[in-house]
Amino acid sequence: MGFLKTLINKMLFFRRPKIFCIGANKTGTTSIANVFRSLGLMVGNQGRAEWLLLDWAKKDYQKIISYCRWAEAYQDIPFSYPDTYRALDAAFPGAKFILTVRNDADEWFKSLVRFHTKAIGKNRIPTADDLREFPYCYRGFLWDAMRLRYGEDESLLYDRDLYTRCYEEHNRAVQEYFKDRPGDLLVLNVAEPDAMERLLTFLGYPYTGQKMPHMNSSKNRQ
């Protein structure tokens, strides 16, 4: 019986649609990952996924697609970066996509800067050298994540206009891509009162009053 149960679980795993949270970092993606876990879903290892950043930069999605075969739900880099969702949509028919957003782009930007400032720990907005030296994932990863997303010009590091424009362009592109497929995309602000109900309904799980967890808040870290 144990072998049969394991076999059934494996069959169900490979038949369930993939779920990708493709909102920008600092839009509640960690909270979404915790909801996935609470539902018993296997969540992709974020640390391993971040090593695929350079593949994303080359627009080589093969390793990203291969990585996505061994879990059910994914979030953050490289899934939060532009165009990854297009490759994943082609590779995994029937996948569900969740675009997490903030109340507005300026709120998102302030949260991102606040989070990085606390992470670096120098009581000021980080410099490019700070990001190059910070030992997360690999030394220099944070700088790679910023330069590959927002450009090499160090004078534009944490430039409000540039970052908010990129944030808004990504959100618009995602919604335009899925405009004729409302069943495949959920645009979600995790701070809204009905966020958990909308998320569970979208994923096909019953809502019984569960609350949305609020994890990794930069305000809480302060």
Window from 7-21, 86-100, 159-173, 189-203 with minimum mean pLDDT: 7-21
Residues contacting 82, CB < 8 A, separation 6+? 169, 170, 173
What DSSP letter does each residue of 65-111 carry, written as one string?
Answer: HHHGGG-SEE-STTTTSTTHHHHHHHHSTT-EEEEE--SSHHHHHHH
In tens, the pLDDT along 13-66 reads 456 899 999 999 999 999 999 999 999 999 999 999 999 999 999 999 999 999
Confidence of residue 216 (pLDDT cuts 50, 70, 90): low
68 is a domain residue: yes
3-class secondary structure, 21:
strand
Per-residue pLDDT tens over the stretch 141-167? 999 999 999 999 999 999 999 999 999
Is 49 domain-assigned?
A: yes
Angle between helices 195-203 and 29-38 (to 10 degrees): 50
pLDDT band at 214 (very low <50, low <70, confident <90, very high): confident
Q: Decide the pairing of beta strands 19-21 and 96-100.
A: parallel
**pLDDT at position 192 over 80:** yes
Confidence check: pLDDT of 10 > 70: no
What CATH number is attached to the domain comprising 40? Answer: 3.40.50.300
Q: Do 85 and 96 meet the contact criterion of CB atoms below 8 Å apart?
A: no
pLDDT at 215 (0 to 100) = 57
- Containing structural domain, residue 136: 19-221
Neighbours of 50 (CB within 10 A): 17
Mean pLDDT for 74-94 is 97
Residue 26, SS3 per DSSP: coil
- pLDDT for 2 beyond 80: no
How many domains does the chain fold into? 1
Give a yes or no: residue 173 inside a domain: yes
DSSP string, 122-177: SSSPPPHHHHHH--SSSTTHHHHHHHHHH-S-GGGTT-HHHHHHHHHHHHHHHHHH
Would the pTM of this model clear 0.85, i.e. be above it?
yes
Closest CA to 51 of 135, 138, 112: 138
pLDDT score of 16:
84
Please report whether residue 82 resides in a domain: yes
**For a pLDDT cut of 70, what percent of the chain falls above it?**
90
Question: Is residue 7 assigned to a domain?
Answer: no
Domain assignment present for residue 36? The answer is yes
Cross-sheet strand order for the sheet of 96-100: 73-74, 19-21, 96-100, 185-188
